[in-house]
Structure 1
């Protein structure tokens, strides 16, 4: 069972990716994630993101998101409920932007995979309120895998992060269009570095696959705990 979900996600990604039209431009996604305790078993967790269609040009999207996270005293579950603001522009010279207000609920689960490998699962449900569009919902599943290194039983500052996320649309028949049930898939691999116990950085490459296209993204991430 531990290997079934990663293998299934990998096979789906490969099958969908065979039919995609590739986009030659590589985008850049800059991300900052934070979490801070506010009470016993409660935290604020969120992120800011800035995305471009090309490495140094063509704005794509800005994201500001925050959630209340609750960790029960028993077990390995985490429960999140939050809100996000999104503003995006289409590919190319057009500056006609679209804003979105989005609610989300997360269920996080840890898997015991031994000393050198950590595995986390996230199930996310979203309610999307997009400017001048019908209400939409979406389900997302992500598997996060970090591979740690040890020397003389000491944890290295470097680690290898991998993750894969699948997006499934809740509605397919909209007011002026029809969308596929499968929305997109993200696959990431990179290198992480622990700057301090409360701060770490990651850099890597992600492949985004949608119903019609596939595109590469350079992803730079900073994670901070207060």
Structure 2
């Protein structure tokens, strides 16, 4: 049995136990996500993102999030800036009736990455200007994530890894605390530009929480050569 198969079996068992425990909880849903970070110049890259979020495992849309942007690498693979735009369709329930909220979002972010031992650490600082159907809000987000290789000593192709992150959301107006996300997943690097993750994320609000199963694909295939 390969490393990947063994880790996958253990993770699936743990995930099944977790989702079964929440099986009767209407606060559990599923997110299916694609993230692209593709080089378009010597220091420029294009960010593209699709997130299909469900109230349940599928077929009951909670939110469709489309995000794109252009980034600039300050240093190779370590520090970068991004200016982006997002279009979001949200369909929340209120007393068993669904409504629809449209949002246009502009955001600016700075990402710092570093490797300590075998652990890859990412810090992301993001400011959002949110233009909703009948409102305008500003929000700050701080993300700290860890990728820990399990089957090899570093994040190389065909590596099974553990992915963990915590992200806090703070409004620039009252109430200040918006939410906090805690995430754990098992990932696999298919090659140098493609990896997949499956895991579970809990969103903690002031008075309640919501859990989501997550399946994500990450693509970093460049659209231009490094020596362009």
The bucket for the TM-score relative to the shorter chain is 0.7 to 0.9
Q: How far does residue 24 in structure 1 lie from its aligned partner after superposition?
A: 4.2
| Structure 2 runs not aligned, ≥5 long | 1-24, 222-228
Pair 1:210-2:198 in alignment: no
Q: Is the 8 A contact 1:58 1:91 kept in 2?
A: no
Paired position in structure 2 for 1:123: 125
Which deviations, in whole Å up to 9, do the C-alpha atoms of 1:181-200 show, x marking residues without a partner?
10000000010011222111
Q: Is the 8 A contact 2:111 2:125 kept in 1?
A: yes
What SS class does the counterpart of residue 93 from structure 2 fall into?
coil
Q: How far does residue 207 in structure 1 lie from its aligned partner after superposition?
A: 0.7
Q: Is the 8 A contact 2:27 2:209 kept in 1?
A: no
Aligned with residue 36 of structure 2, among 34, 37, 61: 34
Alignment of 1:69-88 (within 5 A): 69-73=71-75, 76-88=78-90
Paired position in structure 2 for 1:149: 150
Pair 1:200-2:195 in alignment: yes
Q: 1:42 to 1:113 in 2, by over 3 A?
A: same
Pair 1:139-2:140 in alignment: yes
Taking only aligned residues, the RMSD between alpha carbons, in angstroms, comes to: 2.2
Greater share of strand residues, 1 or 2? 1
Q: 1:57 to 1:212 in 2, by over 3 A?
A: farther
More moved, 61-70 vs 144-153: 144-153
| Structure 1 runs not aligned, ≥5 long | 1-22, 173-179
Q: How far does residue 112 in structure 1 lie from its aligned partner after superposition?
A: 3.2
Paired position in structure 2 for 1:109: 112
Paired position in structure 2 for 1:176: none
TM-score, with structure 1 as normaliser: 0.80
Number of residue-to-residue matches in the alignment: 196
TM-score, with structure 2 as normaliser: 0.80
